Amino acid sequence: MRISAQASAPARLLGALALALLLLASGFAFAQDEEARPEAFPEERGVYLNPDRAPVDDVGVLLRQLSDREMPEETLEGFTSYQNPALGFVTAADNRAWRDFRTVWTKWIHGLLIVLAVAAVLGLFFWRGSQGYERDPQGRRVPRFRFLDRVVHWTTAISFVLLALTGLNFVFGRQLIQPWAGDAAFGALSQGALLVHNQLGFAFLIGIVAMAGLWVQDNLFNRVDRDWLRQAGGLPSGRHVPAEKFNAGQKIIFWVSILGGLALGISGILLMLPISTVGMGWMQILHGAHTIVAALLIAVIIGHAYLGSVGVNGSFDAMWKGDVDRQWAKTHHPLWIEKLEREPGRKAEAPRAEPAE
């Protein structure tokens, strides 16, 4: 039996129709792809179209030009599937200004404020040294902070230190950590730092609100604080200026901490929201405010930590043990101890054994 190599006429007709349909479908798909391609990015004309500028065929060259401010007033637009059209901007003049603030000025702001705070602390130490006091001859001690006060203080303080360290990683990490840790380790560290930073921010904000509720009544300014400020806390003369439970300097630190902490907490929560919700412009403003307030608060807390420990002997006991030597209270806060001991039924604590020095 012999099989013919020639196909029948109907088969040839069906094959021709199938081939025509295939070519038609391919042409339609190609046309659709051409229509979907953004007009701003035709390959044959360069990736950046501007009648006054020659096209650039390489994205890296384009970004270097933008980085060098060769296009200070120009905008590079892309496309996005999000409904917010602002997310389609690859780069713009105001975005480049924010980039310079984030990558350059942020480092200078933090660096200068931290250096100035450390220099002030060292200068104060070498000028005046640690402020001492004579211990109460009978060993009497006075309660200063309740257990709740101390829990709130240390919760807020520890969370702030961790927030400062994780935040500074994003400011100086690429220069100080990445070169010796390597890209992979630094990337993992930064991811962990971001997670810790975002979660601890809520604990810090709760602590700030609790501190405000617990201590605001003792941190309102009055005439005594005016006299304390007029004499600069006795720093030039070396004499102790009368003060209530908190002197004017401590009250200033309190209000800076409360207002600055609220600003950090609120701006930090807003920065965790999607850009499409807040908007690019507001996101940049929030980031700048968050950075500047954080730098100021770090500098203030450096001074507070010094004055509450090495700078004034006996101060650390107040927040660590909850009570202070009666003579310490009489030396630094005489108006407070006088008011305390005038209260009905109030007595100084009985003598307590202290470790020998």
Q: Is residue 218 situated within a structural domain? A: yes
> Taking the model in full, what pTM does it have?
0.74
Range of the domain at 233: 94-342
Q: Is residue 13 situated within a structural domain? A: no
Tens digit of pLDDT at every position of the chain (357 positions):
343 444 456 556 556 555 555 555 555 444 444 444 444 444 444 444 444 555 556 666 666 666 555 555 566 655 556 666 655 566 666 677 777 888 889 999 999 999 999 999 999 999 888 887 778 888 899 999 999 999 999 999 999 999 999 999 999 998 899 999 998 999 999 999 999 999 999 999 999 999 999 999 999 999 999 999 999 888 888 788 889 999 999 999 999 999 999 999 999 999 998 877 888 788 889 999 999 999 999 999 999 999 999 888 889 999 999 999 999 999 899 999 998 888 766 554 544 544 433
Split into its structural domains, the chain has a count of 1
CATH number at 241 reads 1.20.950.20
Written in H, E and C, the secondary structure of the chain is CCCCCCCCHHHHHHHHHHHHHHHHHHHHHHHHHHHHCCCCCCHHHCCCCECCECCCCCHHHHHHHHHCCCCCCCCEECCCCCCCHHHHEEECHHHHHHHHHHHHHHHHHHHHHHHHHHHHHHHHHHHHCCECCCCCCCCCEEECCCHHHHHHHHHHHHHHHHHHHHHHHHHHHHHHCHHHHCHHHHHHHHHHHHHHHHHHHHHHHHHHHHHHHHHHHHCCCCHHHHHHHHCHHHCCCCCCCCCCCCCHHHHHHHHHHHHHHHHHHHHHHHHCCCHHHHCHHHHHHHHHHHHHHHHHHHHHHHHHHHHCCCCECCHHHHHHCCEEEHHHHHHHCHHHHHHHHHCCCCCCECCCCCCCC
Q: Is residue 310 situated within a structural domain? A: yes
Q: Is residue 48 situated within a structural domain? A: no
Q: Is residue 1 situated within a structural domain? A: no
